[in-house]
A = this chain, B = another copy of it.
Amino acid sequence: MAGAGRGPRERMVFSAAQLIRREGVGATGLREVAAHARAPRGSLQHYFPDGKEQLVNEAVGWAGRYAGNRVARFLAALPEPTPSGLFAEMVRQWTDEYETEGFDGGCPVAAATVDRARTADSTRQAAEAAFARWTGAVAGALTDMGVPEERSRPLATLMISSLEGAILIARAERSVRALTTAARELGPLLDAAVTRPATDGGPGGTAGNRHRID
């Protein structure tokens, strides 16, 4: 997860996302964010005049962009892209993390939704946008692989639902089981949705790139 170098503002957003996904929104203090980002505490009110809510929203936005952009990289890593292969990569990002760094972290968008969906509507909207961006990237990739338009978005939603739920269970169990199960059980269903040959991105172009938003 890149994001170490940048300016203090970006570092704080990044640190906020890190802390939120570990402890939840409520238990993440602003002083803690500043310390984690090695940024001056005074900069918080300078860069985020609307306070914690703004910082949280930007952290959620960052997470959504990150997840969306990640899809293109997963595709690039696959010798020949298939829906099940993409999902396996998405899952593998989490199993890798859990096996090397422990089960401390979850998804910051999920945390923001759980902690703030009811109370802070702007945060709820940020989470909605993050999910939309992520879903859009996955759905675009599925279409490129030959999944019919109408099925791409539902299947992308199903993939992300299963992944988010499996992340929860994995953290609760401190086991990667739910994640690998999701990948194994869902794989065939996803591949069965391919009805025409994959769109070839051609040399120099990665399939799915045109779905990236920035």
Contacts and interface: CB of A to CB of B under 8 A. Distances in A.
Q: How many copies does the complex hold?
A: 2
Nearest to A125: B172
Contact of A168 (B114, B174, B178): B114
A115 interface: yes
Given A111-B114, A115-B115, A169 B131 contact: yes
A210 to B, nearest CB: 25
What bracket does the count of chain A residues touching chain B fall in? 35 or more
Interface of A is mostly: helix
B24 A114 contact: yes
Given A24-B114, A24-B115, A164-B164, A157 B181 contact: yes
Contact of A103 (B115, B117, B162, B177): B117
Interface string A9-39: 0000000000000111111000000000000
Interface of A: 22-27, 103-104, 106, 109-111, 113-119, 124, 127-128, 130-131, 154-155, 157-158, 160-166, 168-169, 171-174, 177-178, 181-182, 184-186, 188-189
